[in-house]
Amino acid sequence: MKRPRSPSPVTTVRTPVPTSPHKAKKLKLHASYAVKSPFPNFTHPTAVEAYEIHDLLVKAHPGQRAIRQPPTFSSNSAQTCGNVPNVVEALIGVILSQNTSGQNSAAAKTSLDAAFGRNNFAAIASAPREDVVEAIRRGGLANKKAATIQNILASIKSKHGDYSLQHLAETDVDKRLSDDAIMQELISYAGVGPKTASCVLLFCLGRDSFAVDTHVFRLSKVLGWVPDKTDRVLAQAHLDLRIPGELKYGLHVLMMQHGRTCKGCKKSGSVQSCVLKTYLKEGRAGAPAG
């Protein structure tokens, strides 16, 4: 009597997860301009111009701390551009700070911590979406930001097995990732663009990266540091290569402060004084007159 043959083992074919077109576009754009400016023939800012503007703004805003400070656990990551030691918390903080005031983003982060516990990323990730929305409502765009935060947490857990990106903060010279590798990791997550990633690099990880927010972008155009017809992503790629590394933190902080407080350069045609407008009229260091 023939023994029945055992059924053939079932082979499970894993379908590869398709790459998001937007993610692929972000990574391709970053790779294109990691070592070459999108405006290779645009020579501003020179190192001299960058130093001059830095020193000018230090004098104009003497109370602004433009010296890099180590991340502190007590900081509110949404109010301090991600100046905390936990990388995921820094990333969430920068997302909460988008398109709102520092006061509102800080309130949203405080509320998020109260609702789920500080850095209890598993609770945030598994919570009903509406609970996260309610917790961060004060910061504006709550529906969009809640979805972004939960999707990022799910992606981090799927990729690394835990809700952690602390490998990006590794200081051991043999394990330390390059700035470029960190940038690629961060922008690979849906909802994280170059500016958000740059803030994490600059404020959380202590790397020399030049984040271009709304204020920095506007002032860069006033100074003639980027072409008139460009966007913030290309402007950041250009400026990150043109500005000396040792100035990136201080210049970013000072330009943000000046952009927030100076009434003389907030609107074109303003008759109020502005140290940058005076600088341009004097035509120092070959800066474009305006």
Residue 226 to residue 255: CA distance in whole angstroms: 15
Tokens of 271: 């008759």
> Is 195 a known active-site residue?
yes
List 159, 195, 221, 248, catalytic entry? 195
Residue 245 to residue 210: CA distance in whole angstroms: 8
What string of DSSP letters covers the chain? -PPPPPPPPPPPPPPPPPPPHHHHHHHHHHHHTSSS-SSTT--PSPHHHHHHHHHHHHHH-TTS--S-----TTS-TTTTTT-SS-HHHHHHHHHHTTTS-HHHHHHHHHHHHHHH-TT-HHHHHHS-HHHHHHHTGGGS-HHHHHHHHHHHHHHHHHHHSSS--GGGG---TTTPPPHHHHHHHHHTSTT--HHHHHHIIIIIS--------HHHHHHHHHHTSS-SS--HHHHHHHHHHHS-GGGHHHHHHHHHHHHHH-STTTSTT--S--HHHHHHHHTGGGPPP-
Residue 225 to residue 229: CA distance in whole angstroms: 12
- Contact between 84 and 90 (Cβ < 8 Å): yes
Q: Tell me the catalytic residues.
A: 195
